[in-house]
């Protein structure tokens, strides 16, 4: 992989982590009984399949940087697939 391609992957991963954490942060403030399910459902319903696949790939690499709720939602999303 070229240096430019690696930089683009890191940048894409960082954006994906930031977005997942923002969504999880929102649902963490809501009075839902199952915040993990609500976050995972949002990702399933509103994220493009390519974004969900990228998230699953990132999860397979360890999911570093994902908040605990975003990490749990990503794992739940994998179970839903």
Cβ 44 vs Cβ 74: under 8 Å: no
Which are the contacts of 34, defined by CB distance < 8 A and separation ≥ 6? none
- Find the range with the poorest average confidence among 3-12, 19-28, 67-76: 3-12
Q: From the CB of residue 30, how many other CB atoms can be counted at a distance below 10 Å?
A: 9
pTM (predicted TM-score):
0.86
Residue 30's Cβ-side half-sphere holds a number of Cα atoms within 13 Å equal to 14
Question: What is the per-residue pLDDT across 31-64, written as a single tens digit (0 to 9) for each?
Answer: 988 999 999 999 999 999 999 999 999 999 999 9
| Residue 13: closest CA among 53, 43, 72, 42 | 53
């Amino acid at each position: 992989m070229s240096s430019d391609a690696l930089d683009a992957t890191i940048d894409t991963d960082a954006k994906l982590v930031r977005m997942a954490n923002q969504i999880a942060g929102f649902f963490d403030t809501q009075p839902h009984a199952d915040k993990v399910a609500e976050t995972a459902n949002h990702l399933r319903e509103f994220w493009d399949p390519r974004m969900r696949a990228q998230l699953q790939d990132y999860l397979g690499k360890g999911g570093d940087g994902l908040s605990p709720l975003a990490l749990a939602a990503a794992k739940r999303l994998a179970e839903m697939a």
